[in-house]
Each structure stands twice: as structure tokens, then as C-alpha cells.
Structure 1
Amino acid sequence: MITPKLTSVPTGLSASKPRAAEFFAGIGLVRLGLERAGFDVVWSNDIEPAKKEMYVGHFGEGDGHTFVRGDVGEVRGSDLPDGLKLAWASFPCTDLSLAGRRRGLSGSESSTFWGFTNVLEELGDDRPPVVALENVVGFATSHGGEDLATAIRELNRLGYSVDVLTLDARRFVPQSRPRLFLVGASNPPEDEPVPNSELRPDWLQAPFGDPTLRTHRAALPTPPPPLTAGFSTLVETVSLGDWWDEKRQFAFLESLSPIQRERLDRLQEGKELSYRTAYRRTRNGKPTWEIRPDDISGCLRTARGGSSKQAVVEAGRHRVRVRWMTPLEYARLMGAGDYRLADLRRNQALFGFGDAVCVPVVSWLAEHYLMPLMRGEMRSSSKPTLAVVNG
């Protein structure tokens, strides 16, 4: 059921804050990042009941905010509140990843992109001046780059020039999590004279060289350098019963390759305790565990199947212990350590955080790009505005 459209700024919300809507909102980490940068998130949508439960459990209900649970394809432009300045969409990445067999924008889940753009089209002249899309970096190469070009072309049709950049959560938290961002602007800034190679590396240049696409590259500050350590500082103190028993740990150790075992032995001989994350892989048809060599977490994933869950390895002082990563550690690695976790099912929490956007990445992008762009504080482009094609 679609909630009626809001027609005025609700009581209790600051009219001075630009209003934003988030599609595929998940558990609300984008909202946390946008609000830290000064946006007022007033409308959200997601199809997953378990994610809405987490969202409402953390933010509460009402107070001028509307959450529409359901398929984005059922959302109409008339359902959205007036005065939106930003629309954010973290549409599903399943069909854009190797695990999703690269079905691309035609896949059953990633095709929800079209549901989002249909809503934008229905908004007509009330479209927000800025849109932001987030997905895995595989989006850039899906179907030889054609999926990305198709997405840009669709946003062009709706009157937006598009910038494309990549940003890794590792620049803010000790988790390797590279992501791709598209920023659409109805009034784009002029191109940066020397494009920032850290945000737009060589493998991301194809869209900017395509004369059939309208793109721009905004001048942005250099993001913080990637972290080289820090996971150990986020490890939660757990009870003895959370660590694996002798049988399970033995199976873990037996699965390690000689290189992995040598790595663990060096850590075990250390005078201080060290912490590493580990993933379960399938090598030559056999399940094996692989331990990261650094004090950085691997990319968190949705907890659907054992191979997607990370383990924590504690080694040093001539001992080794292994356990699953906790929901609090997931939250901390996503920059949301104060997120409300009480009464959540473990896999519900892991699924919610593993399928989310890192909070400080959103806030950095919002502070240095989305907010200045929306306020017209960036240099205006001299490029002609594209005509909007309806139908």
C-alpha cells in the first residue's frame, strides 16, 4: 500500500535543510550519512520486511518521515513528497556481480533501476535537481560497459548530466569495500581541468569519452588515503562460548593451504594478540579458509550462505581462536557503531549491514559533492542542457 503524498514540510523538521528521498533504503545507512552532511531524509522505500524492521527499530516511525515498503515498480511519482532536492538509489547489485552471472540491468533484481527512473519520469518538473546512484564497481564493466552507458543515457533522457566515480570505504573504515557512484545533475558543474585520478581511475574513463553521453567531472578534494590497519581496534569482546569449539577450529586449520598456515603460524608466535578476518572459499572443488594478510576486513556481504560470512581469527601468545564476526563488528565496519542492535536476529543484522552503504562514504560524498551541487556552489557548466524526452 502506497502512503499518500506529503504536500508540506512536516512539523518538527527544519525547512532550511534540503529534503531527500532514498530508494532501496535497506536499514538506513544512507540516511545516516546524508543527515550527517545536512540533508533531511523525509521518504524511504525498500522491499525487504526484515530491513524495514531494522530501519524503524533504529529511527522510529513518523516525525515527518514516510517509509514505503514494497516493490519500487509500484511506487508512483505522486507518492513522493514535494520539494525534493536529492533522490538516492542503491539499487540491487546482484545481477552486476560475478556471483550474479553478470546478467546486468536486464536481470530480475538489478532491473529495478528502471523502476527508479520511472518514478523520476513521473515527477516531471518536480524532479530533484540531483540524483545519486550507488552500486558495485562491476557495474562499470557489466556487458562491456554497456550497462553503465545505458544507465547514463537514461539519466540523460531525464535531463541529468552524469558524473561517475569510485570510492572505497577503506578510506574511512578498515574494510575493503570499493563502490561505484553516479551523480546526476540538472545543472552540472563544469569539467575539472585535471580529473581526479583517485576518484576516476583509468578503468573508469570510457563514459567520459563517449560522445553519445552527456557527462561531467566535478572538481572534488582528494579523499583520505586508504587505511592500512585498524580492524583490531574494532574487535568486540565476546564471551568464551562465542569462540568455535576444538572440532570446528581443527577443521578450519586443516583447510588452510601451506601459505595460509605459514601466515597464521607467524601471527601465533607473536607476543601480542593480532586479529585477522577470514573467508571460506572453494578451491579445486574443496572448501578452504583464507586469512587476510593485513589488519583490514574483507568486504562485508549479505549473510546468505556460509561462504558470505567472515570469521575473526585471534592469534598470538602461542594460541589461536576463531569465531564468526558479530553484528556489532559489522556495524562498526560500516561506520554505524551506534546503530540499534537490540532484539535483532543475528543473520538479520548481518544481512542488513552486508547489503548497505558505508556511512562515512555517503557523508563525504554528500558534504563535498551533493550538497554543494544542490546549492549551486560549484562552477556552472557551459554545456547546453539536454531536452527531456518523455514516453
Structure 2
Amino acid sequence: MPALTPIEAARPKALEFFAGIGLARMGLEAGGFRVAWANDYEPDKKAMYDAQFGDRADHQFTLGDVAAIDASELPQDASLAWASSPCTDLSLAGARAGLAGRQSSAFWQFIRLLRELGDRRPPVAVLENVTGLATSHGGDDLAAAIMAFNDLGYSVDVLAIDARRFVPQSRPRLFLVAAQDAPEETDEFVSDLRPDWLSGIFTDSSLRTHRAKLPAPPAPMIEGFGALVEDIPPSDGLWWDADRTAAFVASLSPIQRERVTAMRRTPGVKHRTAYRRTRRGEAVWEVRPDDISGCLRTARGGSSKQAVVKLGNKRLQVRWMTPREYARLMGAADYDLSGARTNQALFGFGDAVAVPAVAWLAEHYLEPLATGRLTRIDARELRAIG
């Protein structure tokens, strides 16, 4: 196992709950942290994690249910605890059971472990989840999550960040940043990071919240997917045959078919993404009109997999998106895929957080907060905004 360099050893230590294939780790380490411990319960994800990161003397991966972990097993001097808890019960694509759902309730195990750490709990904790958390059960789930952090002595900031600000993929996510010592605040209730649908959280007198002063994030990308597409020859077997392609076109709505036909006739080559959806009980394909990918999802069936449509010069070809394209759209272009099965990789990336979104948050907020470089006020004296 390679030894740590002095620079690596000096970095603040982070814990990575619900680590998946390690994209949060990639972002946190790009933003100045050193991830010392990780956990996930899926062997396929751990296999990809191990292939990407290898062994490191100061890192431990605990495979298994987070409910079986005891706080004594965790590093006791961490500066940050990151949790990308399961979003199945909160996603707009799920059953919306909320934090009480079988999978999303793993969040409460994260809270349990923070509580058991006592005065050794990290000064900063983050919950990353889908934006559906903000509306789940009329907003009660988000308030309950904030209250849980409040009960542990944390003040909470809530940010909405779309990965589209960094990669050509529409992937909005919610980030709850919990701080024992809250940073100096901004007076802005509505910004690119805190849209108006979050404003009620900051005016709720029952919650202890803050709004850190942060730089403006990059503007959302309006193009770029085509530049990430793998160069696969037209004769390659990955492209669908004539019958399957004809069935794809036949499933398009009249408006969709007209748009696709127009793009097909134009000179030059364009790439678009497509999803299969159910409309009025029928499976249909829908093609995005722009050069941006739709949100990648966990590939547990054809309806969740994304297709690539190649158009132009009077030709149209369709195929499934490749694992390497998934990796590029998650900001992990060089991820080691050498030993991963296709569906294993698609599921791992579709169930993860975009690397550059985490890196931006770590660089501009989490690392300065954990190391005291943000101007801070004592959260115990923080007056709820209202």
C-alpha cells in the first residue's frame, strides 16, 4: 500500500457513507479532503470502487448494511461526514414513500452514527439527495432531516445544484450542509443556489438554518453532449438494426417525429439522447431537442436506460449509451471500467452524484468550513432566521 505524502496527510479527513462507486470521494478529494472510510452494501459497487482506488494504508471500506455499523468502527478525528443516502423513496421516479421508506430510511442510521460519535462527531456533515426531498410529504421530510441535524448541534444550509453547471447532463440534486459552527451569512433568500422553492426553509422559526456566502456557480451548460459521445463506427454492432430502429421511429409522437426528421435532413452529424417512457399506457421514445443529456438513472430495466440518437446527412442511428459515456457525463471520464460489466457500470453511475458538483462544493464551502477558513459564528448562538 502506498504511503501518504505529507500534503495528503495534512488534508482534513472525511467519512463517505453510501459510497457507491466512489464519485463523491473523487469530488471530495479534488476539493481538498482525504477520504479515510467508506461504506456501501452492494458488492458490485464495492468491486468498482476497489478497481478505481485500489488499497491505501489510511482507508477502510466497510461492506454491509449501515444499520450494522457501530460508531466505534469509524475514524474518530474526521472533519466531514458525507452521506449520499438512497433516494429511491424520494425520487420523482420512485414511489415517494419519503424518509420512512425502506431504502431512504437509511438516513436515520447516518444520524444514529453521528449521535453515537458524541463530541467526536465531525464538525461538518452533508446529506446529498434528489430535489424530491424538498417536496416529499409536503416538505415535512426535509424539515425532519434538518431537525435531526439540529438535535445534534448542527445548523443547516440547503442548496440546490444541477450537475448541468459542470457537465452536459440535467441532474439537479439537493445538498444539506450541516455545520456545528455556522459560517457568516448572506442576506439573499433567493439565488442560483437557493431557489425560491427553498425559501420557506430559511424562514421557519422551528429550524436552525444558515445561508453561507458563496461564489456564484458556473452557468448551466446549453450544449456539450455531442463532444462526449464515443466515436463508434456506423457498422458497429452496438447500433440497432433496421427493424429495431424503425420501431423506435414509429413510437415517436408526431411532434417528436417531425423534429427528428428535420434534424436527420440537416447537414453534419448531431447526437441527442432518448428515454423510453410510458404515455397513456404505451411505451414510447422521447428524444431531447438539445445537446444535453437527460438525467442518468439506475439501469434496472430498459425504461431507465438512456439511448444515443445519431442524426444528420439523411441518416439516423440509435444505440444504448455506453458505460464510458455515462462516466463522462458524471465527470469521471477516466474511471477504471476494465473489470465492470455493462449493467454494473450503468447502475453504478446512474445511482451516483456528479464528481464536479461535489468538487465545487468541497472547494468553495466544505473544505474552508471544515478548516476554519470561512468566517464563522457559533451555531449554538445562531438565531433562527424568521
TM (norm. structure 1) is 0.94
Question: 1:343 & 1:101 partners in 2: Cα distance?
Answer: 33
Of 196-205 and 105-114, the range deviating more from structure 2: 196-205
Q: Which amino acid aligns with 2:98?
A: G
- Give how far 1:383 is off: 5.5
Question: 2:378 & 2:50 partners in 1: Cα distance?
Answer: 44
Q: Does 1:12 align with 2:4?
A: yes
Of 138-147 and 74-83, the range deviating more from structure 2: 74-83
Q: Secondary structure at the match of 1:381?
A: strand
Q: Which amino acid aligns with 2:356?
A: P
Large movers: runs of 4+ above 6 Å: none
Q: Secondary structure at the match of 1:84?
A: coil
Question: 1:328 & 1:15 partners in 2: Cα distance?
Answer: 32
Partner of 1:88: 82
Q: Secondary structure at the match of 1:94?
A: coil
Distance 1:85 1:227, change over 3 A: same
Residue segments in structure 2 that go unaligned for 5+ positions in a row = none
Question: 1:37 & 1:141 partners in 2: Cα distance?
Answer: 30
Q: Deviations over 1:195-230 (max 9, x none)?
A: 451100110112111111100000001100000000
TM (norm. structure 2) is 0.96
Q: Which amino acid aligns with 1:104?
A: G
- Give how far 1:61 is off: 2.3
Partner of 2:21: 27
Identity %: 62
Contact 2:18-2:40 at 8 Å conserved across structures: yes
Q: Which amino acid aligns with 1:302?
A: T
Contact 2:190-2:199 at 8 Å conserved across structures: no
Question: 2:116 & 2:380 partners in 1: Cα distance?
Answer: 23
Contact 1:73-1:115 at 8 Å conserved across structures: yes
Contact 2:179-2:379 at 8 Å conserved across structures: no
Q: Which amino acid aligns with 1:289?
A: W
Q: Secondary structure at the match of 2:10?
A: coil
Q: Does 1:357 align with 2:353?
A: yes
Q: CA RMSD in A?
A: 1.3
* Superposed counterparts of 1:175-324, under 5 Å: 175-195=169-189, 197-239=191-233, 240-324=236-320
- Give how far 1:99 is off: 3.0
Q: Does 1:66 align with 2:40?
A: no
Q: Secondary structure at the match of 1:182?
A: strand
Question: 1:269 & 1:276 partners in 2: Cα distance?
Answer: 15
Partner of 1:332: 328
> 1:167 is matched with which residue: 157, 161, 169?
161
Q: Which amino acid aligns with 2:196?
A: D
Question: 1:353 & 1:299 partners in 2: Cα distance?
Answer: 11
Q: Secondary structure at the match of 2:380?
A: coil
Q: Deviations over 1:65-96 (max 9, x none)?
A: 10000111111111011210000000000001
Partner of 1:123: 117
Question: 1:246 & 1:182 partners in 2: Cα distance?
Answer: 48
> 1:37 is matched with which residue: 31, 38, 42?
31
Question: 2:12 & 2:308 partners in 1: Cα distance?
Answer: 41
Question: 1:79 & 1:383 partners in 2: Cα distance?
Answer: 28
Question: 1:379 & 1:64 partners in 2: Cα distance?
Answer: 30
- Give how far 1:98 is off: 3.1
Contact 1:162-1:183 at 8 Å conserved across structures: yes
Q: Which amino acid aligns with 1:145?
A: G
Q: Secondary structure at the match of 1:207?
A: helix
Contact 1:175-1:333 at 8 Å conserved across structures: yes
Contact 1:89-1:134 at 8 Å conserved across structures: yes
> 1:373 is matched with which residue: 366, 369, 376?
369
Residue segments in structure 1 that go unaligned for 5+ positions in a row = 1-9, 387-391
